[in-house]
Amino acid sequence: MQLAPLFPIFYRILQPSFPNCLWAGNPNTKAIALTFDDGPHPQYTPEVLAVLDRYKITASFFWLGVCVNRSPAIAKAVSDRGHWIGLHGYDHRSFAMLSPNDLKDSLEKTQVAIYNACNLQPQQVRDVRPPNGLFTPATLKLFSQCNYRPVMWSVVPEDWVRPGVTTVVERIMQQVKNGSLIVLHDGACGGQDVAATIQILIPQLLQQGYEFVTVNTLWQQAKTNH
Q: For residue 11, what pLDDT is reported?
A: 47
Does a structural domain hold residue 91? yes
Which pLDDT score is estimated for 16?
A: 53
Inform me whether the pLDDT recorded for 8 exceeds 60.
no
Q: Is residue 9 part of a domain?
A: no
The predicted structure's pLDDT at residue 145:
95
Percent of the chain with pLDDT over 70: 90
70, part of any domain: yes
DSSP letters, 158-213, are -GGG---HHHHHHHHHHH--TT-EEEEE-STTTHHHHHHHHHHHHHHHHHTT-EEE
Q: How confident is the model at residue 136 (pLDDT cuts 50, 70, 90)?
A: confident
Among 9-23, 103-117, 154-168, the least confident range: 9-23
C-alpha distances (whole Å) from 171 to each of 138, 166, 201 are: 32, 9, 11
Q: Is 136 within a domain?
A: yes
Look at residue 12 in the predicted model and tell me its pLDDT.
Answer: 57
Give residue-wise pLDDT tens across range 120-135.
999 999 999 999 888 8
Number of domains within the chain = 1
Question: What's the chain's Rg over C-alpha atoms?
Answer: 16
For residue 169, give the CATH number of its domain. Answer: 3.20.20.370
189-223 burial: b if 16+ Cβ within 10 Å, else e: ebbbbbbbbbbbbbeebeeeebebbbbbbbeebbe
Check whether 19 has a pLDDT greater than 80.
Answer: no
Q: Is residue 121 part of a domain?
A: yes
Indicate if the alpha-carbon torsion angle 161, 162, 163, 169 is positive or negative.
positive
Q: With 0.95 as the threshold, say if the pTM is over it.
A: no
Q: Which whole number is the average pLDDT over 170-184?
A: 97
Mean pLDDT of all residues in the chain?
A: 92
Interstrand relation of 60-63 and 84-87 (parallel, antiparallel or unpaired)? parallel
Tell me whether residue 219 is in a domain.
yes
Query: Stretch 28-56: mean pLDDT, rounded?
Result: 98
More confident call, 12 vs 172: 172
Residue numbers of the domain that contains 58: 29-225
19 assigned to some structural domain: no
Residues known to be catalytic: 37, 185
Q: What would the pLDDT profile of 81-101 be if each residue is shown by its tens digit?
A: 999 999 999 998 999 899 999
- Residue 213 within a domain: yes
Q: How confident is the model at residue 1 (pLDDT cuts 50, 70, 90)?
A: very low
